[in-house]
Structure 1
Amino acid sequence: MSAEKIQAESRTEFGKGAARRIRRENKVPAVVYGHGNDPIHITLPGHATMMALKHGGANALLELDIDGDTQLALTREVQVDPIRRTLEHIDFVAVRRGEKVTVDVPVNLIGEAVRETLVVTENATVQLEAEATHIPEQIDVDIDGATAGTQILASDLKLPSGSTLLIDADTLIVNVTEQISAEALEAELEEAEAEAGIEREESDEDAAATEAAEGDAPAEDAPADSE
């Protein structure tokens, strides 16, 4: 992963009011932690930073030019406005070239399993140790033609050179099962509810159907008049 170069500015104003002023100028407040140094509070250009994060993914590596000094920074937490989808704040951790870092890398499924199967991603990310400048953007998992019963464990993953798996090798990543029909799912749910002693309330549709069936049922023969 190559580092995106971003021009940053150090900042001395803090608080919600200062952050709002920064965002009105289409900039992003951020902070860089790490290596036992005091946090570095900075301001980043909004559009350029957004594009860098999109390109770098969850573990985007930026080369920040802070008042003439260069600092490699690994993205740790990104706050995004839930409505406008604009960047609100970013936390970075300072890194050095050749330094090993711990990251969670997304799992990316490639291909399609056979028909009438259900593919479940049991773990959407995998924790790795990798060089700060060689963090994989994603771990590809090939499920093309996978049949029901296929299970892909962490030990089955193809990791890029220099990366080390940090989770248990037996961790289930992808599970391919036989697709269950809606009828079978409903039957399993009813059986589980019955075992738990849960009684379902009859829906309006079911009640109407029951009433209609009772109304259509032939009446029993009336007893004959006695002579």
Structure 2
Amino acid sequence: MANTITLSGEVRTEFGKGVARRMRVAQQIPATIYAGGNEPVFVKLPMKETTLALRRTNALFTIEYGKDSKLAVVKDVQRNPVKRIVEHIDFYEVKAGEKIEVTVPVFAVGTPKGAAVAFVDMQTLLVRADVANLPERIDANVEGLQDGEKVFAKDLELPEGVELVDIKDDDSVVSVEIPEDATASTAEATETEGAEGEAAEGAEGEAADGDAAAADGDAEEK
């Protein structure tokens, strides 16, 4: 079993907006632990420790309350739209050895060739994994890829025991392309260089004509 984040809380028996507001003033977060067809458990958790723990994507929690505890993952987090503080958390109870489906963010890693840039086509992927091995992210390697190349689902290197859900092998996860503005800039630079070259050639031609005229003048004087 992978390490879990332990949160020590208390059972809560009072409900309502006023109660939740008082809990937040006391630096506590109301939370609910759902357990399949069983009755949910209502707890209050320490605000600072819980907020920091929520930074971990797909973390596995051991939630202690009184003499009992439950193994759980985060199902939903409600935040204040203005202050962004956590107002309520829904957890889902899991069992050791159980496989569940979770959403995982995708990141492009590495540097494509030249002016090409990696664009993530699928910001998240749905995966199935053991609760002890839930991935926090999935990396798509774009190192050395050229304009027009892609990273497909079949190309991803997944952690051991992790399976993709509802996606085809040939679905594009990341595309490598040269941005239009970069292409335009290159074209403009090429045109500028061409114009400067033509101007330089013209200047050289005029200078040559001037030298020839001067030579003719000298010859006539002689």
Q: TM-score when scaled to structure 2?
A: 0.77
Match of 2:170 in 1: 170
Q: CA deviation at 1:105?
A: 1.0
Q: Which amino acid aligns with 2:26?
A: E
Q: 1:2 to 1:171 in 2, by over 3 A?
A: farther
Q: How does 1:58-77 map to 2 (within 5 A)?
A: 59-77=58-76
Q: Distance in 1 between matches of 2:166 and 2:23?
A: 40
The answer for the alignment partner of 2:78 in structure 1 is: 79
Partner secondary structure for residue 98 of structure 1: coil
Unaligned runs of 5+ in 1: 186-227
1:14 aligns with 2:15: yes
Aligned 8 A contact 1:154 1:167 in 2: no
Distance 2:11 2:158 in 1: 37
The match for 1:51 is: 52
Q: Distance in 1 between matches of 2:154 and 2:130?
A: 20
Return the letter of the residue paired with 2:44. Answer: T
Is there any run of 5+ residues in structure 2 with no aligned partner, and where? 186-222
**Structure number, greater radius of gyration:** 2
Matched, 1:36 2:37: yes
Q: Give, in angstroms, the shift of residue 182 of structure 1.
A: 7.3
Distance 1:88 1:100 in 2: 29
SS at match of 1:114: coil
| Distance in 2 of aligned mates of 1:144 and 1:182 | 19
Cα distance in 2 for residues equivalent to 1:2 and 1:126: 24
Structure 2 residue matching 1:28: 3-state secondary structure: strand
| Deviating 4+ runs (over 6 angstroms) | none
SS in 2 for 1:41: strand
Conservation of the 8 A alpha-carbon contact between 1:26 and 1:45: yes
In 2, the alpha carbon distance for the partners of 1:48 and 1:126 equals: 28
May I ask how many residue pairs the two structures share in their alignment?
Answer: 183
Amino acid at match of 1:75: V
Q: CA deviation at 1:115?
A: 3.1
Deviation at 1:161, TM superposition (A): 1.0
Other structure's SS at 1:50 match: helix
Partner SS for 1:39? strand
In 1, the alpha carbon distance for the partners of 2:99 and 2:47 equals 29
Paired residue for 1:118?
117
1:6-31 CA-to-partner distances (Å, cap 9, x unmatched) read 10211111111111111111111111
Is this contact kept in 1: 2:115–2:182, CA < 8 A? no
SS in 1 for 2:38: coil
User: Is the 1:7–1:64 contact (alpha carbons within 8 Å) kept by the matching residues of 2?
Assistant: yes
C-alpha change, 1:109 and 1:183, in structure 2 (3 Å) is closer
Q: Deviations over 1:113-156 (max 9, x none)?
A: 22322321110111111011110111111112221111111111
- Between the aligned residues of both structures, percent identity stands at 37
**Distance in structure 1 (CA, Å) of the matches to 2:20 and 2:170:** 45
Q: Could you tell me how far apart the structure 1 residues matched to 2:183 and 2:147 are?
A: 19
Residues 140-159 of structure 1: matches in 2 within 5 Å?
140-159=139-158
Contact in 1 for aligned 2:111/2:144 (Cα 8 Å)? yes
